[in-house]
Amino acid sequence: MREFWWIIICLLMGNAPALAEATSTELAQAAYWNGEYERAIELTAPCTLFECLVLQTEARLARYSLGHSPDPMPELDQIEALANQALALRRQATKPRLALVAVIGYRARNRSLFTGLRKGWAGQGRKLIDEILVLAPEDPWSYAISANWHLEILRRTSTRRARFVGASPAQGLANCAKALQLAPRDATITGQCGLALLAARQKELEAPAIHALQLAASASDHQDIFACLRQDQAARVLSVYAQSGVKLARRLAVTILLVREKSKSATGWPIQCGQSNPLEIAPESGPDIPG
């Protein structure tokens, strides 16, 4: 709806360049919802509006998380640059901060713990997360991203060592519980929490992980096609858990989180995702990294 009124204003003012940017943003948003990430990136590339910069970071993040980035490390550099540009336009915005936390997390997963400590990634991520929690205390993504910070550190090291940087199973669980309370039908949030809880290798987190994955697998409100894919991943992890036990289910969860599983392209999404129509969803629902 906001994009519609922006177009009307541009028409009344005769502002053709602004109208072109607004139209490109709408088309890019539709492409994003449909899983056409390359198209969304192409449409937002020449646009300098805050909305364009954020949408391009989200499209690039989605592409990276599916294992489709042609150059993964340069892609993360580009996402970081775009997020910082967006943040320069709106200092209080949370979406660019969420993108920066995601970049730090993906970089840390591909490097050793020693490298992460030397570069101060844990501290940088924690600072951004604390800012997000202050700026958006009722946004479920604020808690989901905070939970993932704790749980990813626990996945990489022991509970005792995790305490040195302030990470704990209890806080990871509490933040996921808050995220699920705020968005119990969001497959992206419930699925992400379920995967992270299971991957953390903590016995006490197993039952909450399965609960979160069950919420994701049964979700009916798909914000976009990426959320539908998360639902499919949650269902597959649950199936492995039921048939083969927690060890193999955890292995699959880690494979998904580390982007080692080559996900389907936009032309080969799971059947139930192809049946949804993301274009009918109101713009207010936003991309999969709200803020």
Residue 245 backbone class (left: φ over 0; alpha: ψ -120 to 50; beta: rest): left
Predicted confidence (pLDDT) per residue in 44-98, tens digit? 998 889 999 999 999 999 999 888 888 888 999 999 999 999 999 999 999 999 9
Predicted confidence (pLDDT) per residue in 210-229, tens digit? 999 999 999 876 668 888 88
What mean pLDDT comes out for the span 231-239? 95
Is residue 216 a part of any domain in this protein? yes
| Domain count of the fold of the chain | 2
Is residue 88 a part of any domain in this protein? yes
Query: Are residues 192 and 128 part of one domain?
Result: no
Is residue 119 a part of any domain in this protein? yes
Query: Are residues 255 and 171 part of one domain?
Result: yes
Is residue 16 a part of any domain in this protein? no
Please give the pLDDT value at position 224.
81
Query: Are residues 184 and 130 part of one domain?
Result: no
Using alpha carbons, select from 242, 240, 224 the residue that is nearest to residue 280. Answer: 224
Please give the pLDDT value at position 221.
65
Calpha distance 105→149 (Å, rounded) = 8
Is residue 45 a part of any domain in this protein? no
Range of 230's domain? Answer: 167-263
In this prediction, what percent of the chain has a pLDDT beyond 70? 80
Please give the pLDDT value at position 84.
98
How many residues appear in the chain? 291
Contacts of 106 (CB under 8 A, 6+ apart): 64, 65, 76, 259
Calpha distance 183→194 (Å, rounded) = 13
Examine the pLDDT at 167 and tell me if it is beyond 60.
yes
Question: Any idea what the CATH number is for the domain that residue 79 is in?
Answer: 1.25.40
Scored b (16 or more CB within 10 A) or e, 127-154 reads ebbeebbeebeebbbbbbbbbbbbbbbb
E-state strands within the chain: none
Please give the pLDDT value at position 263.
53
Calpha distance 45→241 (Å, rounded) = 42
Query: Are residues 259 and 175 part of one domain?
Result: yes
Side-chain half-sphere exposure of 176, counting CA atoms within 13 A:
33
Calpha distance 190→222 (Å, rounded) = 12
Calpha distance 164→273 (Å, rounded) = 42
Calpha distance 287→227 (Å, rounded) = 10
Is residue 151 a part of any domain in this protein? no
Query: Are residues 180 and 129 part of one domain?
Result: no
10 Å CB burial of residue 260 (0-12, 13-18, 19+) is exposed
Is residue 8 a part of any domain in this protein? no
Is residue 213 a part of any domain in this protein? yes
Query: Are residues 171 and 133 part of one domain?
Result: no
Query: Are residues 184 and 122 part of one domain?
Result: no
